[in-house]
Amino acid sequence: MDIKYYTREGLENLKKELQTLKTMGRADISRQIAEAREKGDLSENAEYDAAKEAQGMLERKIAQLETELAVARLLDDSKLDASKVAILSKVKLKNLSLNKVTDFMIVTENEADLKLGKISVNTPIAKGLLGKSVGDVVEVLVPSGVMKLEILEISR
């Protein structure tokens, strides 16, 4: 598995999710299995089968998260140049076509969440902004056409 980079927040969220699954998730599944066992014959007990299947899915998810954590690396934003757009940059942009100002943070692909204003470094917009400075106007090809974006501000 390839190394995946995370922000401090993203790495903490991954660790919390794993801990929750190992504690509360496993306890919940154990309770479901125990309740299903109390209902009698396990060979024809659909609740028991469903609980055992849920247990298998939970354990696969735990294994997946443990593997992700094993190859996870923390991005050190203190070593990044704040004068140019890079991963972990917070960028204030003006869409020159719509005359609209928006803020984005450029994050790793696994932390992207458009509702929170976090876009993946692999998106066309982020790729077009990388390495650019305040005042630069960037033309980015997106599915709806070409966007002209002016970089108003870059911060960390």
In tens, the pLDDT along 10-38 reads: 889 999 999 999 999 999 999 998 888 88
* φ, ψ of residue 120 in degrees (nearest 5): -70, 145
Q: By three-state DSSP, how is residue 45 classified?
A: coil
Find the helix or strand (DSSP H, E) in which 72 lies: strand 72-74
Per-residue model confidence as pLDDT tens digits over 32-81: 988 888 877 767 778 888 889 999 999 999 999 999 899 888 877 666 66
**What pLDDT score was predicted for residue 47?**
86
Which is nearest to 3 in space by CA: 57, 67, 56? 67
**What pLDDT score was predicted for residue 67?**
92
The chain-wide mean pLDDT, for the chain, equals 89
State the alpha helices, DSSP H only, in the chain: 8-20, 26-37, 46-70, 124-129
Domains observed in the chain: 4-74 (1.10.287.180), 77-155 (3.10.50.30)
**What pLDDT score was predicted for residue 79?**
66
Residue 62 · residue 22 · CB < 8 Å = yes
Which is nearest to 81 in space by CA: 8, 156, 152? 156
**What pLDDT score was predicted for residue 74?**
83
Residue 154 · residue 82 · CB < 8 Å = yes
Residues 6+ away with beta carbon under 8 Å from 56: none
Q: Which amino acid is at 35?
A: E
Residue 87 · residue 121 · CB < 8 Å = yes
* φ, ψ of residue 9 in degrees (nearest 5): -60, -45
Query: What is the average pLDDT across 105-110?
Result: 88
**What pLDDT score was predicted for residue 80?**
66
